Structure 1
Amino acid sequence: MRGTSLLLALVAASALAGCMETQSGAPVLQTQGGRALAGAAAGAIIADATDSNAIAGAAIGALAGGASCNVGVGGPCYR
């Protein structure tokens, strides 16, 4: 049951992710802050699903999401 809920939440979040924009018009997931927030959420969800520390998972996810702008993963980042 937990896996089904997790999968449903991920599908719903990805369906809505394309609709998010900042005030400057750049999509949220193409800013470093937006990627850090998305990484933190994903890290916390994955850590919770694997019975690990959700805070540590969120911290690692935020670092990975924020750093993804600097390595060119997922397209360019805007300010």
Structure 2
Amino acid sequence: MAHSKQIIARIALLGALVGLAGCGDTMGEQLIYGAAAGAGAAVATDGDIATGAVVGAGANAAYCQTNPGACN
């Protein structure tokens, strides 16, 4: 039972982080928010935190540069 609660908590955390990843008015904010979301997702899924931060920062910046109306 404890394992299923842990999975639910991780899914909830991941969902919250994904919602934050689309924020940021400047490139710096987009990188920081993406890195935080990526690192948090890595923690939630037992992944490498540094890799998650790098991937999250790059993905959020790329998304926001491609879809500027969605991020500002």
After TM superposition, the score normalised by the length of structure 2 is 0.63
1:65 has 2:60 as partner: yes
User: Among the aligned pairs, what percent are the same residue?
Assistant: 33
Alignment coverage as a number of residue pairs: 61
RMSD: 2.7
> Whole-Å Cα distance in 1 between the matches of residues 48 and 28 of structure 2?
23
Structure 2 portions without partners, runs of 5+: none
Query: In 1, are the aligned partners of 2:41 and 2:52 still within 8 Å (CA)?
Result: yes
Q: Alignment partner for residue 47 of structure 2, among 43, 52, 60?
A: 52
Which has a greater percent of helix?
A: 2
Structure 1 portions without partners, runs of 5+: 15-27
After TM superposition, the score normalised by the length of structure 1 is 0.58
